[in-house]
Structure 1
Amino acid sequence: MINIKNSKQGNINHAIKTIVATLGVVFGIGGIGHGFFETLQGNNATNGYVIHAIGEANRMWLHGNEPAFTIIPNFLITGIAAMLVGTAIIIWSSCFMHKKHASVIFLSLFILLFLVGGGIGQVIFFIIGWAMSTCINRPLNWWQKILPASMRKFLSKLWRPFLIVSTLLILFALQIAIFGFVPGVSNPDKISTIMVSSLGAGLLFLILSFISGCAYDINKGGITNE
């Protein structure tokens, strides 16, 4: 028997929407950060597609150069574009992820951010974020099949804690990338390792948050029961 109420198009999986929106805001801020440091390098040629968002004059630690890609051959214009697109991503993620074509625009904005100097390291996150965003308005039948009811009950309580941990780890990694600050650690290579580890752990907890969010949304009726 089909549950008519839950089979209606346009249902929103609120936990998944929140997870994707948080990811978008975090990396939108990251894009703005890249853009800010690019503008500090002034009205100068980039001399190539792959650049360092943070120039020598503003670098705060040995590996703090923030690699980026840009199709705009000027640091100032690249930086302004990155800040504008980063802001657009924050606004879109915060206010419009429930829209019908939200996932397409979400992906398009992040691709644009990548092309205008918003950073290279965020690519894997926005691809995963886009994949998650495609589930915001879709039934979660597949997840219902692979997540037993007892497991869903347990997991549904964890999506917020997992999301908080993921966000903090990613933000910690982003600040290390700029400032190189790790309490009690001064060796640049160790700092770099901690940064990459923090980013990887943040990705892991993001995926765990998504799985838990699916369990939460299923329990809240974000599925088509058959």
Structure 2
Amino acid sequence: MNKYDFKACDPIKTSTVVLITYTAIIGFIHGVGEIFQAGSQATSNMIYALNVADPSEVWHGGLPAFTLTPNFLISGILTILISIAIVIFVNLLIESKYFIFILLIFIPLFLFGGGFIPPFIGIMSGTYYAILKRSNMNTVKPTLLRKLVAQLWIYLISALILWLPSSWIIGWIFPVFRLQISSVTFIVFDLFLPFLILTAANSKYRIASN
């Protein structure tokens, strides 16, 4: 194949939509937590979306975020609206030449209390997709390692989808244990897994096109 065929690219397109939707859900959770703190004023630009006595004593760390607006209610409403807009636009424009502009929405998400991880994952996955859109996707020899990575794609993306609700359920039932493994799960699920999903999706598409 000489040019990237989006209609045939289910793994990469699906991965991008899932990852960006995943970030929007996390941003939405930040917004809800901030709205619950309505009436409070932030003492600095660094805030915690969830009102906890000691963020270091809970597995989610109070969901730290940055905001330009010291009013929690305003930050929460803006974050929720931006998160909803992200989900709508990524589904409407995923195959559009204007898709790259969706990434700009992550800037206000960051600036108004949407947290740090959502913009990171959203911009990373969206940029990866946009670069592949404009590149030549030549087929590659299906080596054993590449086949293995490609076959893992569906399991990796399923793990990401299941982890979001599971992490909160585990944290609710086993708060101490969840706190103890919070650093490891942060690295694995928030940093490493999104990148691995995109890599596996790329391998799956290239092998399928062979």
Q: 1:162 to 1:186 in 2, by over 3 A?
A: closer
Matching residue within 44, 47, 51 for 1:51: 47
What are the ranges of 5 or more consecutive residues in structure 1 without an aligned counterpart?
1-5
TM-score, normalised relative to structure 2? 0.81
Contact 2:121/2:194, CA 8 A, preserved across alignment: no
Distance 1:126 1:196 in 2: 21
Structure that is richer in helix per residue: 2
Structure 2 partner of 1:34: 30
| Secondary structure, aligned partner of 2:209 | coil
Matched AA of 1:208:
L
Structure 2 partner of 1:104: 101
Q: CA RMSD in A?
A: 2.9
Distance 1:76 1:220 in 2: 48
TM-score, normalised relative to structure 1? 0.76
Structure 2 partner of 1:168: 162
**Which of 1 and 2 has greater Rg?**
1
Distance 1:45 1:103 in 2: 35
Contact 2:24/2:87, CA 8 A, preserved across alignment: yes
| Secondary structure, aligned partner of 1:51 | strand
Contact 2:20/2:126, CA 8 A, preserved across alignment: no
What are the ranges of 5 or more consecutive residues in structure 2 without an aligned counterpart?
none
Distance 1:71 1:29 in 2: 21
Matched AA of 1:129:
S
Deviation at 1:15, TM superposition (A): 1.1
Distance 1:41 1:170 in 2: 23
Q: 1:45 to 1:60 in 2, by over 3 A?
A: closer
Q: 1:97 to 1:155 in 2, by over 3 A?
A: same
Structure 2 partner of 1:3: none
Deviation at 1:124, TM superposition (A): 3.3
Structure 1 partner of 2:184: 197
Aligned length: 204
Using the TM superposition, name which of 88-97 and 71-80 deviates more.
Answer: 88-97
